Amino acid sequence: MCFDRQYLAIDEISKQLDVELISLCMMDEALPFDLRASFCRLMLHAHLVTPIKFARLWTEIPTSISIK
C-alpha cells in the first residue's frame, strides 16, 4: 500500500504500527523469517519522512549549475 509514496496509506499504517513495534517484530526470533522480512519491508516503505517530497517538473530543473 505504501509503494510510490501513497501518503494516505502511509498515515493510516503509521498510526497503527509505530516504529518501535515494527522494530520489535523484526528482532523477534520466535517469528518466522518471512514475517520478519515483511516487517523489514514495511519499515522501509511506511516509516519515511513524509514532508519531504522530491517531485519536480523538468522545467524547474536548471540547465546549468555553478558553484560560487
Count of structural domains within the chain? 1
Cα–Cα distance, 29 to 4 (Å, whole number): 30
Give a yes or no: residue 33 inside a domain: yes
Q: Does 3 have pLDDT greater than 50? A: no
Give a yes or no: residue 65 inside a domain: no
Handedness of CA 10, 11, 17, 19 (dihedral sign): positive
- Domain, as residue range, for 37: 7-60
> pLDDT per residue over 29-45, tens digit each?
999 999 999 999 988 87
Question: What is the predicted pLDDT for the residue at 12?
Answer: 82
Contact 45, 9 (CB under 8 A): no
Give a yes or no: residue 39 inside a domain: yes
Give a yes or no: residue 25 inside a domain: yes
Question: What is the predicted pLDDT for the residue at 48?
Answer: 63
> pLDDT per residue over 47-59, tens digit each?
666 565 556 667 7
> pLDDT per residue over 4-34, tens digit each?
557 777 778 888 888 899 999 999 999 999 9
Question: What is the predicted pLDDT for the residue at 7?
Answer: 73
Give a yes or no: residue 53 inside a domain: yes
